[in-house]
Structure 1
Amino acid sequence: MWEKFSKSLGLFMQNWMLFSMIVLTVWLPASILIVYLRWYVFPEMTGGDEMQMFVKEYRVQGLIETIFGPFCIGALIYALAQIKQDAMPSYGDCMAHAARRSFKLVGTRIGTGLIVLGGFLLLVVPGIILALRYALTDIVVTLDRMEGSQARKYSAQLTEGKRGKLLGTLIVSFSLVLLASTFISLLFSLIVSESGSGIFVLDVIYECLLQLGINVILTTVLFLFYWESKEQES
């Protein structure tokens, strides 16, 4: 569990500029939009109801993730694959590859999401099992030029015998990212309280850092499982 997380963190530290540029291509403008809506639009629309504001923000974020997330993830996956082959991809190379595969990735993601959602609606455990079976689908679509049911089937094959370890590693990784984001949030709250007013820019920076951590670390963890499985196949 810790090994994959530490390797993910190491890859991020070694390639932080490239990974940051990829993620922020999507999530910098998205974060500005989300924070703007949070500050100036949702409070007026909901009359200050925090739960309604949270739901609306969650929907906007989900829409952004559905439409633009695959572009960001596809570029990250391509970058990781090139780095593991001792190549140094450029930002343009990564974005070009992601653009070529993004539509396939969106379609496959939607289909996979509906299947996993169906599992969660039946019972929680089947949903978790399906999510783990198809956890590598994004990577398969991006690198193996498969899509739809074929990509899901291959993901299930690659995760066979590794799903318990995969689940544990994802829980640990997500928890550590969440812990780091909580610390940053508290630090920013202290700065805001000292200044005596809210700071729009700090909110945007926090959202960007959160998305950077989640996208890079979790995608890299999944990629390392994929890469390990592919090496065992050969």
Structure 2
Amino acid sequence: MSTGLIIALIVIGAVLVVAVAALMALRYGRSHGGGDLRKRFGPEYDRAVTRHDGDTKAAERDLARRVARHGDLRVEPLDPERQERFQARWAAAQERFVDAPREALSEADHLLGEAAEARGFPDSGHYDEQLAALSVHHARHVQGYRHVHRLAHAPEHAAGHAPEQPATAGHGPAGDGVSGNGAATEEMRTAMIEARELFQDLVGAGAVGSGTKGSRVI
């Protein structure tokens, strides 16, 4: 068999694999319908449409591919000891937010990735794949992880972030966060609050204590 023929067969095989995957996604979308996808994904459906510049069909094909790839994923429970360790680390991150919000945000990003991996989702080293799987099983709360991850990996100057100061520095009596680096801190605070919903889904509803210094801030 000539080299040219071998290469041609490899190319044809790759094209067939892509075609089959696309056909499966299309069949899923037709059999389940856009209404079912909207119901399943909730706000994630609207975000997918936005990412595809308003092309609803393209968004539905994207979501259908996610379900086809990750819908049968087996989510494992956490044992109580590991659950408690995750909860303690999240509480510590909340407390750290008072004095070092960016570092606390980074820890939250790591915790979400580790907790998802511990539950059986793709490992945290493959963020995009992990996020896609989470969007199938935790569609209503996955945006918090996306927000935290984006801020945690953004260059400090990109967010207009001044050298790190305590979260209360330069604030008025009500801690309104309108001076100094308050705007950047407020966005990080919002991301932490959003991400907490997914963390609770993954680890347990009692993951966030109500009497810590951090919980008063976020």
Higher helix share: 1
Same fold flag (TM > 0.5): no
- Specify which structure has the bigger relative contact order, considering alpha-carbon pairs within 8 angstroms and separated by 6 or more residues: 1
> Which is greater in Rg?
2
TM-score tier, shorter chain, comes to: under 0.3
